[in-house]
Amino acid sequence: MPNKNTPLFTAYVLGLVAVIIFGSTLPVTRLALESFSPATITFTRALIAASMAGVLMAVFGLSWKHPENRSIFLAGVMLIFGFPGLMALSMQTVDASHGGIILGFLPLATAFIARMTTDERPSNRFWALTLAGFAIVVAFTFYQSGKSAGSSNLIGYGWMFLAGVCAAWGYVISGKLSRTMQGWEVITRALVLNAPLSILGMIWFYEPIATPPTMTSIVAIGYLGAFSMFLGFCAWNVALAAGGIARIGQLQLFQIFVTLGVAVVLLGESLDWITIVSAIAITAIIATSRRG
């Protein structure tokens, strides 16, 4: 597994690959929902990723025992079940492009939680930018949900917001753990530790499928498990360790636009000017916040 000796160019490539993988997750989840329930998607992708993680731990001779297992387990609950499960629930009623706007606020939400759980004292500028970004997300949510009949759309946006909170919290815990272990090791251990919950979840939420799943949905759920849940995290964490959080972290600014583009290509979604302006505004706010 690459380490801090990885060339900077390779770090950028790995970081960009990870951003493309993460940015494609929402549209691909909608494809998986054509045949599978949110619960089936959540636990199946977790088991696929846990299997790959188990192999990696065996190859590197890592023991499942670790002094930080409690924190690793909690990070896994947030990133393996909380974020994917709530995201899948949201994708039942929310366009992937719109979900991308909500999750576009994720980097700032992660920074917010990190600063609230440490001794850092955020500047007035940081608070102002956080509130501005949050206001854009809230305004966008109510505008788009108001265009649709019924309350299910607004609930869907609520699920996506909660998914973002889970992801941000999981990222903060993972970030702290990465100070004492390699980033790829955190998600690998988390997947293995949470594998029993993944199996129990598959059993508990098992639902007979009335019609055979489409090949598109099968490929989609495989992608979510192998790439979104495992390989993407490994590539991203290796890139951060090799290229530095400040440099590589900037690549995350492109993620929202990856989601919008993939949603148009894979799902045929249309982008209105509100969605485009919101994406640009959130990206600008995050870019500004990282300079301070």
Residue-by-residue DSSP string for 21-73: HHHTHHHHHHHHTTTS-HHHHHHHHHHHHHHHHHHHHHHTT--S--TTHHHHH
Residue 7 DSSP label: -
Report the amino acid identity of residue 245.
I
Burial (0-12, 13-18, 19+ Cβ within 10 Å), 9: exposed
Residue 118 DSSP label: S
Q: Tell me the C-alpha distance between 212 and 75, whole Å.
A: 34
Helix (H), strand (E) at residue 150: none
Q: Tell me the C-alpha distance between 136 and 278, whole Å.
A: 7
Residue pLDDT, tens place only, 133-187? 888 888 888 887 666 555 557 888 999 999 999 998 988 888 888 778 887 899 9
Q: Tell me the C-alpha distance between 220 and 252, whole Å.
A: 23
* Residue pLDDT tens, the chain, 292 long: 545 556 778 888 998 999 999 999 999 999 999 999 999 999 999 999 999 999 999 999 989 899 999 999 999 999 999 999 999 999 998 999 999 998 888 877 887 887 777 666 667 787 788 888 888 888 888 887 666 555 557 888 999 999 999 998 988 888 888 778 887 899 999 999 999 999 999 999 887 777 889 999 999 999 999 999 999 988 888 887 777 766 777 788 888 999 999 999 999 998 888 899 999 998 888 888 766 5
260 within 8 A of 230, measured Cβ to Cβ = no
Q: Tell me the C-alpha distance between 223 and 210, whole Å.
A: 23
Nearest to 99 by CA among 175, 11, 28: 28
Stated pTM of the model: 0.89
